Amino acid sequence: MSQGFPQMPSDKPSLLRDTRQGQARLCWKNLMEALFFCVTMTLLAKWSTNLPAWGDVIASENGPIEMMSAGVWFVAMVWCLTASLSHPPHRIEWLGLTALCLLFGLRELDAHVWATGWNLDKSANYWNPRFPLWERLLVIGGMIIPVMVIGIVLCFRIWARLTVDWNSRAPWIGQLTVGGILLVFCVVLDKVHGYYLPFLGLEEAQLFFMGLEEFGEYVLGIYTVSVLWPYWQATLPFHQTDS
């Protein structure tokens, strides 16, 4: 099989059990592919939308990059949901990933702001009496606690396999680590351009940091897809029988 494009590994691994292709370079391959893809799509978006400035394409809220980024998360959500239905042994993992992808997509569209009228990201808002108490409690009970439960369940499932898979150099550990680093990078950029740039006297750099954050979020989405791709394929019925 040609390796010109990312392909399903020949051993068709199931989620968290790929122990044969444990190369660290796989993580970097995923990351570089994602970067290359995102740069290409950014250029195409600039060309196809005829937007005058690069800032309108990359850094603006509701711009093409943010729209594409949200699209990636929602498509990934649908695919994870399908994988959970067709692959019972790892249903919990797939459902957890479905919920996470939905959450990331909603976060990308700022759903929490238009749905509640206030920013759920700011912890001070939970103590703010201007917002109805029942609404704050609803957000905590209906969103934050379920997300924490999903995170805890996924962490337990990962923790149970960590030692064995670490020793066998399973690639998912490196892939998860690189994904985590990307996520932290985006969160830090989000906070930096939102709160700290004015303190540092770097207001002019606001657009640059916003663009970097939006682009980083897009890369994170595409990176996630590139990592999950062989696992998705391994769960689909016609891939399981065509070897």
Partner 1 sequence: MKYALDWIRSWPAWMLLISVGVTVGLPRVPYYQEGLPYIYDLGGMALVTWYIGLGFLILGLYFIVMGCVSAGWFLSRRLHAVLFGGVALILGGSCHWLYLILLEMSVRVT
Lay out the site mask for partner 1 across 26-65 (x = CB under 8 A, - = otherwise).
Answer: -------x---x---x--xx--xx------------x-x-
Q: How far apart are CB 101 and partner 1 at their closest, in Å?
A: 9
Residues numbered 70 to 89 that lie near partner 1 (CB under 8 A) are: 70-72, 74-79, 82
Residues 15 and 191: their CA atoms lie apart, in Å, by: 33
Residue with Cβ nearer partner 1 (201 or 237): 237
2 makes contact with partner 1 (CB under 8 A) = yes
- The answer to whether the beta carbons of residues 63 and 108 sit under 8 Å apart is no
Stretch that binds partner 1, among 130-138, 169-177, 195-203, 228-236 (CB under 8 A): 228-236
Residues with Cβ within 8 Å of residue 11, at least 6 apart in sequence: 18, 20, 21
- Locate 193 and state its tokens: 């351009």
- The answer to whether the beta carbons of residues 107 and 120 sit under 8 Å apart is no
1 makes contact with partner 1 (CB under 8 A) = yes
- Amino acid at the residue 179: G
Residues with Cβ within 8 Å of residue 137, at least 6 apart in sequence: none
Residues 164 and 29: their CA atoms lie apart, in Å, by: 24
Residue with Cβ nearer partner 1 (102 or 192): 102
Please compute Rg for the chain using Cα positions: 20
Lay out the site mask for partner 1 across 86-125 (x = CB under 8 A, - = otherwise).
Answer: -------------------xx--xxx--xx----------
226 makes contact with partner 1 (CB under 8 A) = yes
Helices then strands, counting H and E runs in the chain, come out as 11, 0
Q: Which residues bind partner 1 (CB under 8 A)?
A: 1-2, 4-8, 33, 37, 41, 44-45, 48-49, 62, 64, 67-68, 70-72, 74-79, 82, 105-106, 109-111, 114-115, 222, 225-226, 229, 233, 236-239, 242
